[in-house]
Chains A and B, each alone.
Chain A
Amino acid sequence: MTMRPWAIAALVAVLLFLLGPFLIIVGAGLSAGETLTFPPEGLSLRWVWAVLQVDTLRHAFAISFSLAVLSTLGALALGIPAAYALERLDPPGAGAIRALVTAPLVVPGIVVGLALLRYFVIPLGIGIRPALLMSHTALLVPYTVRVVAASLRNLRVDIEEAAILLGASPLTAFVSVVMPNIRNGIVAAFILSFITSFNQVPVSLFLAGPGVSTLPIEMLARIDFTYDPSIAALSALLALLSIAIVFVAERLLGLSRYV
């Protein structure tokens, strides 16, 4: 099938719209000049190297990365059983529970952050790191529940029953029959959660404190007083990292095998 010219034009326009900002950031980050401009004033990796030497950013990256990993694992540990219970065990008030689980998706992050700080973290005297971990986990649970529940809904119940009648305990049936068949849902939930936590700003803004800051917040602070291309270089690196995570997850866990 040959495409009509207007269809090609539309395709190019959409791709430009989607990828344009990314290309500009990458371009600006590879600039050899002193200021954040596009098109770049000559190409060089100097700002990429420069930004890797900034201690506050390296420190914030380590915090953000470990925070994203831990809160994603926490959200999966809570979200997978919750999704299973909602889909399979038909608990009383399932509709209300579903709405409640989804609530953090609907409430603006600023509100969540302020509320957590004012009514949870300060009164209970919770440290910055545990506060960040708990709040990120809570923010990610809705994603994991939604995504995992959707793949459970597409999986026949009777294969679990078949496993149980062959002698498997409900837990064994879940691990050996259900989990392998909702693997793509779990991988998707992992990627979505990781990236959401890594990019999270509003809640972290309230909960971060002296010495403990996440990467997006450090980057925001840095933009306030520097105008060199280092931020663009860092953004390009982060985009590369996201792509790498999706790629590795897909290779390692076979995301596309069941799709």
Chain B
Amino acid sequence: MSDAFLELHGVTLRYGRSIAVDALDLSVGAGELVALLGPSGCGKTTTMRAVAGLLKPTSGQIRIGGQDVTRVPPNKRDVGLMFQSYALFPHLSVFENVAFGLRLRRLGEAEIAERAAAALASVGLAGTEGRLPRELSGGQQQRVALARALVVRPRLLLLDEPLSNLDARLRLEMRTEIARLQRELGLPMIYVTHDQVEALALAHRIIVMRGGRIEQDGAPAEIYERPRNAFVARFVGFETILPATSLPGAPRGATAAFGWRPHHVQVGAGPYEGRVLGASYLGEAVEYLIESDFGPIKAEAPADLPRHGPGDPVRFDLPLSRAVALEAEPAPGGA
């Protein structure tokens, strides 16, 4: 990417003999919101902390706005971070939490008051200035953390699982809020999450990580519809993944495996035979777990079709026309 704002070149982080991040190349464009998606231990948080400067890469280079910041300490990087735990200063009022970064910049009292008030208002928290963090709800603390990170106008904002401590309704609200602020400020953001729904809903681009490496880097629709390999496919909901060799009549070549989402599997008719292990009614649909020669298959059928109960023999099909073709996975990272 030529207009990359943040660039990582061959960034590696090692702890003793284990590798947390393995020769990672990554870029974030100006005004772009990139999600780092992956299970815990995939290296996404480590990568983010290296960008913030809280961890030093064993090797590699980090550039922000064209400047090499690999050796720049975190307090000089001008990078904001919103912590999963909010990390508000417990002894300071909401106002002083937000004003903290402004005071360090030695601004005048009037400007501090004005900017802190504006930041709090922009996250809908005007009027809470005098409260202590522990007197606020989780969602409010989250907003204070966001205001505190944004008020100093960082060049780049990092968000570490920002919604994971919120309930479902607040999560949607906050997600919308983050998207709005990102749009209005045009601020590049890296959003670290293990939740594909959050990543799909918010990000302009998703980077799926595993074992300190990038598995796939693409637009949300691309990741969701055309996962490259079995790991990414499983992560975005292709529950049934079978090696190409196990399917009669499947094309060979570059395709190592095929994947189906539960609703892609046709239940009630088809060339294959199995037995229902479990059936769960989900309202719109019924979810089946089918025991078969391929192993357990997860399927979903509209609830208005004839139902099958546990123990019933059932015919099913894995239509190749609906399957996603997957490449072979690279050898697991670590070496």
Contacts and interface: CB of A to CB of B under 8 A. Distances in A.
B148 A159 contact: no
A125 B88 CA distance: 53
A169 B74 CA distance: 9
Interface residues of A, number: 18
Interface in B91-119: 91, 100-101, 104-105
B50 interface: no
Contacts of B149: 165-166
B224 interface: no
Among A159, A167, A172, the most chain B Cβ lie within 10 Å of the Cβ of A167
A32 interface: no
B87 A159 contact: yes
A165 B52 CA distance: 7
Contacts of B54: 161, 164-165
Given A166-B100, A172-B104, A161 B87 contact: yes
A4 interface: no
Interface string A147-164: 000000000101101111
Contacts of B91: 180-181
Contact of A163 (B77, B85, B89, B90): B89
Contacts of B74: 161, 164-165
B88 A159 contact: yes
Contacts of B274: none
Interface residues of B, number: 23
B175 to A, nearest CB: 22
Nearest to B105: A167
Contacts of B88: 159, 162
Contacts of A168: 75, 100, 104
Given A158-B85, A161-B54, A166 B148 contact: yes
B89 A165 contact: no
A165 B90 contact: no
Contact of B75 (A156, A165, A177, A181): A165
Nearest to A169: B75
A167 B90 contact: no
Nearest to B90: A181
Contacts of A165: 52, 54, 74-75, 77, 79-81, 149
Among A162, A165, A181, the most chain B Cβ lie within 10 Å of the Cβ of A165
A59 B81 CA distance: 58
Nearest to B85: A158
Contacts of A172: 104
A164 B75 contact: yes
B152 A162 contact: no
B235 interface: no
Interface in B125-167: 148-149, 152
A144 to B, nearest CB: 21
A55 to B, nearest CB: 47
A167 B153 CA distance: 12
Interface in A168-200: 168-170, 172, 176-177, 180-181
A156 B100 contact: no
Contacts of A162: 81, 83, 87-89, 148
Interface string A207-237: 0000000000000000000000000000000
Given A166-B104, A167-B75, A169-B75, A161 B81 contact: yes
A116 B152 CA distance: 54
Nearest to A172: B104
A219 B95 CA distance: 55
Contacts of A163: 89, 100
A162 B105 CA distance: 15
B81 to A, nearest CB: 5
Contact of A159 (B77, B80, B89): B89
A200 B75 CA distance: 45
Contacts of B75: 164-170
B45 to A, nearest CB: 12
A177 B80 CA distance: 17
Contacts of A159: 87-90
Nearest to B151: A166
Contacts of B52: 161, 165
Given A161-B54, A161-B81, A162-B81, A167 B104 contact: yes
Nearest to A257: B91
A180 B77 CA distance: 26
B152 A167 contact: yes
Given A159-B88, A163-B100, A165-B77, 15 more contacts: A156-B85, A158-B83, A159-B87, A159-B90, A162-B83, A162-B148, A165-B74, A165-B81, A166-B100, A166-B104, A166-B152, A167-B75, A167-B104, A172-B104, A181-B90
Which 6 pairs from chain A and chain B are nearest by CB? A166-B101, A158-B87, A162-B87, A167-B104, A180-B91, A164-B75
6 contacts: A165-B77, A166-B101, A167-B104, A170-B75, A172-B104, A181-B89
Interface of A: 156, 158-159, 161-170, 172, 176-177, 180-181
